[in-house]
Chain A
Amino acid sequence: MLIYLLRRLNLLVLTALVLLGLLYIASLKMPGDTLTNLSGVTHPSQEQVARLTERYHLDGNGLQGYLAFVRQRLTGDFGLSQASGRPVLNELLQVIPATLELTILALLLALLVGIPLGVLAAGRRGPLPNLLWGGTLLGFSVPTFWLGLLLMLTFGLSLDALPASGRINLLYDVPFVTGFMLVDILLSDAPWRWAALWDAINHLVLPTLVLAALPCFIVIRTIRAAMLAEMDKNYIRALMARGVPRYRLVLSHALPNSLAPMLRLLSLQLGQIASGVIIVEMIFTWPGIGSWLLAAQYQGDHTALTGGVLVVALSIIVLTILLEIAQALLNPVIRKEIHG
């Protein structure tokens, strides 16, 4: 297990270095002043130029520059946003909780709905399994943006039932503590907090549904496939022959063994889910990292853009590796696949 962990850690460091290298090259090749692209200081004074050149080792060779860049970024110095003049890190800390809140809720929803439906879809009797199977195929082929617009049009505009844009009605001046809106509302002692909570939940419904759709279909399909394979195995037959009830077979034997392949597939789809987050944030003007990255892109804010990309990509890498470790804990066979 120790060797396995070390290997994963090694992979993490190497991938991160390659990622930083790509971003560094992008910063050098981008139009505009290199120093500005790296530090975000627009129109630096003589003195600032000297200090920044030293800090980023721009007078040295490429490798020194790269190492200085890595040191800056990994110590949390992402430079200043060229559009607002504030540190990129501060802006990131403002927007990341919004994205996390949405993503966590959507993934929870996907698991809560997807796992039972996956089990049901693996059944052998009645029309339900086939219906679910067909349904996931259909859902799988619907693009996120289209689903988002459809729900927005139906529930937001035609029925006028749910807010179709934004995170909360801005008249609720919720103080920023953790950045997670639901938590912040509960922490505040304002007299209107229950109304605000209800409003925030209403705003969450549509984006969460749309974002949860893709992972939910993935979960249903993998659980079903794994369950079907599992239920055919000899140990299950043996248990069945001994008269263990079917629900116990499913819940305590087949399902836990099916979770590992599901986790593996989900971790492979993290990039997909991240791009889904960006699309959903754009459609519902959710003030998270996706909208923020898009704004940075429009405004030609290079430091913000590279900073945001770095954080998103790094968190995907870290999450993938964490999920792999989780799988290794669940399934001893994987631990032996040292080269995985």
Chain B
Amino acid sequence: MKKEMGAKAFKLMIAGLFAISATIVPVTASFAAGEALGAKCTTEGESTGTKSTSLVCKENKSGRLVWAKVKLSDSNLAPIRPLRAPRGSIEFWHWRAEDKAIFDKIIADFQDLNPGVKVTQVISNSTDYTNTALNKVRSNPKAAVVTTFRGSQFNQAATAGLLKDLSNEQFAKRNVIKSMMGAGQYQGKQLGIPYQSLFNNPVYNIEIFKKEGWKLPKKFSDWISYCKTAKAAGYVPMAWMGAFRPQALQIINSSLMNTASTDAQLNAQISAIDTGKDPITIKWVKDMAGKYADLRDAGCFPDNPKGVTEAAGNTLFATGKSPILPTGSFSMGGIVKLNEKMDGNMGLTGFNFTDDVNARYTGITNNTFILGINSKAGRTEQRIARAFISYLVNGEVATAYANGTKQHVTVLDVEYTDSNLRNTASIMSERLVLAPRFTFLNQGVRDILEDALIAIVGGETVDKALEEGAKLIKQKLG
């Protein structure tokens, strides 16, 4: 008995030592890297980055601001190394065709590390993926790594028990930024790892703003003034693409973000619309929709806004005919492909739909591209998927992915070298909210509301567009 106790105490001691060293080593390393040294800590909450060694500015017991180790992950321990995969083949299902090349390289490296393993990408466009992927992977034992969009698709997969619980996986606790994991949680379980950190905020042309001597709009009346000034100067103030609802209504996030005084209230009022408890003719929606009419009347949108395709909108921005692309950080890669000169010439700005510069939120973030393991896949395939996801959330691999695709990621220890990613750093200082658009869980209801907003931009009156939409929602949910 005594011997047993001794062994137990010894094991505990070893575990304790390991935990302490895992905490101390990164902190020491960060000081060694000179991350905080020399920079005075002046603003509480300011952080030196998203590394496992990063520091945060915090008030100490005596009320002084000091640098302290930031606990970004769900654990005090350092990120784990990628897991080993058993032999076999799996499919990796996603919608990001633009990431294929970089994933090909990542997969090749993963396969080299794990001989006898084959990972095949199965890619479809985002609309098809939203609509058909879950049904297809459900009966496909090879489709082991499945990505989902935040919101209704993730919710659908979670409700159907399609995603394996990753709550106890060490990589889910130690390799990723905890505050960005909410989008992959369902009923207290971590069913997926949101891999990307997006910013659904307007992208602006730095050079044009500098050349014209314009300041970035900070409140709604600034936006109205900006539109009038830009239009007078011969620009299309916003390269808005009304013919493609998913991108056109990225701005619904900004218009929703300050419609309630608390997050709980915002969620509750969206849920009330989603479930038909409140009609979209309710005051707060009407007020929000009225802002679209104000923007329209100020000439913010292109001519014939409802007919502008995604390609045309991107072209307007990439060619400098429009200084603002009201979509988000994810569009930047495509813009650079259209015009190389735009590389490093883009920044992100918040879109405040209120006239209060101190509004609760000034910008949007979204954690999506949720990596999950298909619980209907074969057992070996699930093990390979687990190893593959642990590989993707490794700092080095995620660095390659982030810089290669011009996306921010939710993984610790990522070094952003791309100038566009560095330029977007300013948005991080905004007060960001997780994109409220995806709080709508009924896609049909959301589509009707968004169609009404598009109709308003196209010239319809607020009352008529919302009344027609309300009628359709009532029928849909009736």
Q: Does A pair with B?
A: no
Residues on B lying within 8 angstroms of A by beta carbon are: none
